[in-house]
Amino acid sequence: MDNKPIVELKNLSKTIKGKKIIHDLNLALYPGQITGFLGPNGAGKTTTIRMMVGLMKPTSGEVFIDGQSVQRHFEEAISKVGVIVENPEMYKYLSGYKNLEHFARMNKNVTKERINEVIRQVGLENRIREKVSTYSLGMRQRLGLAQALLNKPKFLILDEPTNGLDPAGIREFRNYLRKIAEEEGVAVFVSSHLLSEIELMCDRIAVIQNGKLIDMREMKDDEQSHYYIETEQNANITTVFADAGVVFEQHEKGWLIQAEKTKIPAIVQSLVASDINIYEIKPYHKTLEDQFLEMTGGGQIAETNSK
């Protein structure tokens, strides 16, 4: 990963009607990396995104895109940005190609070669000459992605990009997004309330609550030190875990233990020696939903219309 960020939020704050909505947000987004943006309702996700693309002026702080300040050099900074919103607007009576031609005219220096290149990138070669009215939602999303890529952005913002897509469409979109991030070195920022989707799509997540960035974590963190063990009911089981020196808690029908992999055989032997029947043992990974609820104290997952 390139160590130089494409996007930097520096001490970004927003006060509306005397109430501080965003508190000194600092965030860096890197080329080739997909960052998920999560937060409960009213956490400040939409306000943050609006400031990032210059639709709202910060009360204090600054946003830099490829070294240019959005506040002081708006046109230069925003020329590096591509945006995909939920269900992108298209001219349905025109073909996909005509739609891209129309949007290309709004950008300087978008050649026919570039139009054909983005069509290939999103896999629409076979249907691009057909009317958008014949497209599935997944195809329209891919056309929206093609449109956002026309000006070779260094920063791509996606707001609820997979809303309404079926599982096949979501997977397809995710694969194209990953390919574009890696091959083009684009910094991708995804705001979504679909936690399972963020988990599969993103390299890391930023969590915002009450206008503050409360957590930033890599999605590839190894949590193999947690194991789920299901046994028959037995009063001696907690003694076995305590003797093994592991942290344990009840979970569903069994127990979650925090232990090195090398300790597991000895724990199994102790359980067997205590005549405790073991039904299941497996590595346990906390889902993003579990982590999110822990981080936010059970706050509701952000919806598309949060402000």
pLDDT in tens, 290-306: 766 666 666 554 433 33
- Residue 298 is predicted with a pLDDT of 62
- Residue 110 is predicted with a pLDDT of 86
Q: In the chain, how many domains are there?
A: 2
3-state secondary structure of 40: strand
Domain presence at residue 144: yes
pLDDT digits (tens, 9 = 90+) for 115-136: 999 999 888 999 999 999 999 8
Q: Domain range holding 86? A: 7-218
CATH of the domain at 230: 3.30.70
Cβ atoms within 10 A of the Cβ of 82, count? 22
pLDDT digits (tens, 9 = 90+) for 24-79: 999 999 999 999 998 877 788 889 998 998 889 999 999 999 999 999 999 899 98
Is 138 found in the same domain as 264? no
Is 182 found in the same domain as 255? no
Query: Which of 186, 218, 250 is where one domain is finished?
Result: 218
What is the distance, to the nearest Å, from the Cα of residue 206 to the centroid of all Cα atoms in its chain?
Answer: 8
Spatial CB neighbours of 137, under 8 Å, sequence gap ≥ 6 = 87, 164, 165, 169
Is 274 found in the same domain as 193? no
3-state secondary structure of 266: helix
pLDDT digits (tens, 9 = 90+) for 149-172: 998 999 999 888 777 778 888 888
Domain presence at residue 298: no
Between strands 187-191 and 34-38, the pairing is parallel
Domain presence at residue 119: yes
| Burial zone of 210 (CB within 10 Å; 0-12 exposed, 13-18 middle, 19+ buried) | middle
